[in-house]
Amino acid sequence: MLRVTEFLDIKKISGLRQAALGRGLDGQDSLSWHAALFDGDALCGAGRLYRRGEDIVIDSLALTSARREYREILFRTILLKAVNLAPERIFAPEETPEYLSDFGFKERKGAFFASPAEVVFPSLCGGKGCGGSG
C-alpha cells in the first residue's frame, strides 16, 4: 500500500537523493518541508518544498523506481501542500517536465510554474491505470 507522509530522517533523504539524483543535501534542506513515499515499509521516494519570497518551490523528487505512479503520488501530495500555503506562484521540479502541463504548469525560460488558481489535479496516472513501469 502506497502512502506519503511528512519525513524528517535527513540521513535517509540524503542517501536516497544521492542514489537517485547524484547529489546529496544542500543548504535549503534545513528550511524545507520534506515528504516521503512508502510502499509498505519500504522508502520509495522523497521530495521537498520551501518558500522563496512569496513563492513555493517543489524540488528534489528522488525515487527508487521510475514507476509513474510513484512520481505522481509524491508530486501530488507535495503540490497539494504547496497550494494550501497560498503562494503567489508554485515552481515545479525541472527534472519532471514531461507531465507538468497536465497539472497546469507553464514553462518560461526553463522554469515551470503555476499560480494556485491555475493548478489542476488530473486523473491519477493520466486515467490509464497505474500498472507497469510507466
d(CA 25, CA 21): 11
Does residue 134 sit within a domain? no
Taking the complete model, does pTM exceed 0.85, yes or no?
A: yes
Model pLDDT, residue 95:
66
In this prediction, the residues of the chain whose per-residue pLDDT falls under 50 are 127-134
Distance in angstroms (rounded) separating the CA atoms of residues 45 and 77: 12
The CATH number assigned to the domain holding 54 equals: 3.40.630.30
Which residues in 81-107 are b (16+ Cβ under 10 Å) and which e?
Answer: bbbeeebebbbbbeebeebbeebbbee
How many folded domains does the chain comprise?
Answer: 1
Q: For residue 113, tell me if it sits in a domain.
A: yes
Q: Which amino acid is residue 86, in one-letter code?
A: A
**Is residue 132, in this structure, part of any structural domain at all?**
no
Q: Evaluate whether residue 133 is within a structural domain.
A: no
Domain hosting residue 102, numbered range: 2-127
pLDDT of residue 132: 43
pLDDT in tens, 37-47: 999 999 999 99
